[in-house]
């Protein structure tokens, strides 16, 4: 692709040979001859100069003294993302239903959808136009999958799940397994029937081997544009708001509500009936106790506390050995003073 074509695609200003052929897109450390890369900070110009890249995407203005072709844009990182999409466009299987797939009577599959071998589509399920169902996917009875969705191999979508448009679910995830609910009677656990569903709104992405449980009644809800990483557990009746992010190995227990654009970092644990307001951040390894309500802010620690308070607590924790020694020294001095006073009496 010629550099002039890239400039036109990105709406950028070019300094260099417009006829230069760009053959790839790469990070600055890995870029080779013919590659285009990007630079976020002018202070890294030396790193750009030392790379083998043919062209550097820069922010707003050309960098003086940089002996390479440059492409100035408003947002270099976004431009880089668009080029990755352009150069590495994902191949899409041809529309149609494989003869090796199992399609139940009453299932509705759009003619523009692709259902690959060994997929199972249950009674009354619906698959929208442009969606791709990879081998080993199970779609249960009555579940609905919207337009342009991708379900990668061995995804399980249980009965009565509703999935919006442009949703991507990575391999091995399970949507709509029973919520974990029991009552104890006469020395044994009695299962609470989980008769609700799961609703996943448009433009959600769900990582590999993540589980999102169906509601006891009503629906577990994943809001529009939310992004959920690999190995995440979302329990029954959880509500996750628009644009929120839940990172790997985090868990959200039953009936908790995350607002819009909340970030839950890796390995955080959120107990049941928690409410987290819009725009909040829960740090890695944090523990949010049952019934907690967090106003907008950044939080860390277990039990969770405001991030600044946690930083102070951690600084004190690091000093505990010397503080303990100082306390022991004070106890010895106090004990000696008490003995001396007793002798004087």
**Which own/partner pairs from 178-187 qualify as long-range (CB within 8 Å, at least 24 positions apart)?**
178/213, 178/214, 178/236, 179/213, 179/214, 179/215, 179/216, 179/220, 179/235, 179/236, 179/237, 179/254, 180/213, 180/235, 180/236, 180/254, 181/216, 181/236, 181/254
SS3 state at 108: strand
Angle at 247 between CA 165 and CA 228, to 5 degrees: 10
Q: Which of 40, 18, 22, 41 is nearest to 32 (CA)?
A: 22
Q: Which residues contact 158 (CB under 8 A, 6 or more apart)?
A: 138, 140, 143, 174, 175, 176, 177, 198, 214
Candidate list 86, 236, 273, 307, residue with the active-site label: 236
Bridge partners, residue 244, by sequence: none
Nearest to 276 by CA among 284, 266, 285, 289: 289
Tokens found for residue 82: 């668009």
Cα angle: 47, vertex 52, 53; to 5 degrees: 90
C-alpha span between 231 and 208 (Å, rounded): 7
Give the residue among 176, 175, 242, 243 at the shortest CA–CA distance from 209. Answer: 175
Q: What share of the chain is helix, strand, coil (3-state, %, to 5)?
A: 20, 30, 50
Q: Are 186 and 205 in contact, with CB atoms under 8 Å apart?
A: no
**Strand residues in 3-121 grouped as ranges (E):** 13-15, 24-25, 35-38, 55-59, 69-73, 96-97, 102-103, 108-109, 114-115, 120-121
236 is a catalytic site residue: yes
Active site residues: 236
């Amino acid at each position: 692709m010629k550099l002039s074509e890239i400039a036109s695609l990105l709406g950028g200003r070019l300094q260099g040979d417009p006829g230069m052929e760009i053959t790839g897109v790469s990070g600055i450390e890995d870029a080779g001859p013919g590659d285009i890369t990007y630079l976020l900070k002018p202070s890294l110009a030396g790193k750009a100069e030392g790379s083998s890249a043919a062209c550097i995407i820069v922010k707003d203005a050309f960098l003086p003294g940089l002996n390479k072709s440059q492409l100035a844009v408003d947002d270099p990182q976004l431009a880089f993302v668009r080029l990755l999409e352009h150069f590495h466009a994902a191949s899409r299987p041809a529309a149609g239903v494989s003869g090796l797939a199992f399609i139940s009577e009453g299932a509705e599959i759009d003619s523009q959808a692709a259902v690959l071998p060994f997929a199972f589509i249950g009674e009354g399920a619906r698959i929208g136009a442009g969606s791709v169902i990879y081998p080993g996917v199970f779609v249960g009875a009555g579940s609905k999958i919207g337009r342009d969705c991708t379900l990668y191999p061995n995804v399980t979508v249980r009965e009565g799940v509703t999935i919006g448009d442009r949703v991507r679910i990575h391999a091995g995830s399970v949507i709509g397994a029973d919520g974990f609910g029991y009552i104890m009677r006469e020395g044994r656990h009695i299962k609470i029937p989980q008769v609700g569903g799961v609703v996943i709104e448009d433009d959600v992405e769900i990582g590999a081997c993540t589980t999102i449980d169906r509601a006891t009644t009503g629906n577990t809800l994943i809001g529009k544009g939310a992004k959920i990483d690999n190995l995440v557990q979302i329990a029954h009746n959880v509500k996750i708001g628009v644009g929120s992010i839940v990172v790997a190995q985090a868990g959200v227990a039953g009936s908790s509500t995350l607002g819009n654009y909340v970030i839950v970092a890796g390995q955080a644990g959120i107990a049941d009936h928690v409410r987290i307001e819009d725009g909040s951040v829960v740090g890695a390894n944090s523990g949010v106790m049952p019934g907690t309500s967090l106003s907008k802010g950044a939080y860390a620690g277990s039990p969770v506390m405001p991030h600044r308070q946690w930083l102070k607590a951690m600084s004190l924790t690091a000093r505990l050995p010397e503080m303990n020694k100082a306390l022991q020294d004070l106890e010895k001095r106090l004990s000696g003073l008490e003995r001396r006073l007793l002798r004087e009496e």
